[in-house]
Amino acid sequence: MKKIFVLLILLTAILGCTSRESMTKEEISPMYYSLSGKVENGVRIIDVEAYKFGFNPDIIVVNAGDKVRLRLTSLDVVHGFKLEEIGINKRIEPGKDNIVEFYANEIGTYEFRCSVFCGPGHMKMKGWLIVK
């Protein structure tokens, strides 16, 4: 019984160490995520917060064909939002309106990253756009 308990604790610790920042595109399964934001006047609006060293949400889900408006906010310092496959590279300045609009035309999973160096955790600052 004691061995099983120790094994469960070790397994929980190992699984708990897995984070989204280390996930690959192949590990993101669109079926597990619901649509992000809300639709107003035909536009899917999603609020995204950038902070040292992450995004909230770090997984954004939209439908193919959606017109998407990201309202980007920095909670601390200047960050960036780069979604290379869609041609987006936006500087996110604290206290300013930082809006990005695009059409989600291609089904797929796309990585976005901070494109402005923001400290020692900068390289881990990423998220995923899922287009269903």
At 50-81, the pLDDT tens digits run 999 999 999 999 999 999 999 999 999 999 99
**Mean pLDDT on 8-25:** 47
Assess whether pLDDT exceeds 80 at residue 18: no
Distance CA 60, CA 131 (A): 8
pLDDT at position 5: 38
Mean pLDDT score of the chain, rounded to an integer? 85
pLDDT at position 97: 83
Assigned CATH for 25-131: 2.60.40.420
pLDDT at position 4: 44
